[in-house]
Amino acid sequence: MVYAFIIPLGSGTNSQAETLAAAHGIQWCLQHDFKKIILEINSELLTKWLSHKIKPPWSLQQHISPLINTISQLEFF
């Protein structure tokens, strides 16, 4: 393990919290020049959204799209 964190996300759904936490962790990795990432999450939905197996709900698309763009900058995900 390289990085574990806790951040205040305010109110929202569990899916929103998982998405924002994943985005935070991946951004941290990029800021510290980690380009090969294994992201461990417990959200099967987020996994499917990021692998394009299913579309995210419209309410989370504003968070998922930038996250997918960030992931595309990585050497391994």
pLDDT at 5: 84
Domains in the chain, number? 1
pLDDT at 30: 93
pLDDT at 23: 94
18 within domain boundaries: yes
pLDDT at 51: 92
Q: What are the mean pLDDT values of the chain's consecutive 10-residue runs (77 residues total)?
A: 83 93 93 93 93 94 94 94
DSSP state of 12: -
pLDDT at 2: 78
42 within domain boundaries: yes
pLDDT at 3: 80
Beta strand ranges found along 1-77 (DSSP E): none
For 30-41, the DSSP string reads: HHTT--B-----
Q: Which domain holds residue 54?
A: 14-71
